[in-house]
Structure 1
Amino acid sequence: MSAIPRKYSDLVFWILQSGLTCAIAAAIASYPLVDSGHVLAYWIQSWLFSWLVMLPAVLFAAPFIRRLVVTLTGDG
């Protein structure tokens, strides 16, 4: 397996982070369905939909958030 070039490390981080965040949020939202037996199907559907929405949001928001963090924080 070839490695992804290091210059894409931010992008890979954002993709993985948004996927994990959506997986956790979908699991929490699916909890009420545990007794119904439909929790796995609902969780997968919820996770996929939320990730498809969240990934572009993370990719587009990251540069603005970075600038905001630099503005709000100082050197000392």
Structure 2
Amino acid sequence: MKIPQRHAPILFAALLSAIMVAIVSAFVIATNQGITAGFAYRWARACATTWPVAFPTVLVVAPLVRRVVARFTA
């Protein structure tokens, strides 16, 4: 099943933000608290609480970043 191309920016933002939240939260939790019992729960909770912030942020910021990059590249 494919979604219409007009939804590509939303899918891009959803996937990018989910991947970034998962990687960064795992790194921060492992660095600060170690990979101990309960790591998976803390990681899932961090992802669930930060993704709702990251997703709309990427939706708003990505177009701005694309314009800035276009100005600095040939």
TM-score band, normalised by shorter chain: 0.7 to 0.9
Secondary structure of 2:35 counterpart: helix
Runs of at least 4 residues off by over 4 Å = none
Same amino acid, percent of matched pairs: 28
Higher relative CO (Cα under 8 Å, sequence separation at least 6) belongs to: 2
* TM-score computed with the length of structure 2 as normaliser: 0.84
CA distance, structure 1, for counterparts of residue 63 and residue 12 of structure 2: 14
Gaps of 5+ in 1: none
1:11 aligns with 2:2: no
Aligned residues between the structures: 72
Structure 2 segments unaligned to the other structure (5+ residues): none
Q: Which has the larger radius of gyration?
A: 1
| Cα shift at 1:4 | 1.2
Q: Give, in whole Å, the separation in 2 of the partners of 1:14 and 1:7.
A: 13
- Output the TM-score relative to the length of structure 1: 0.82
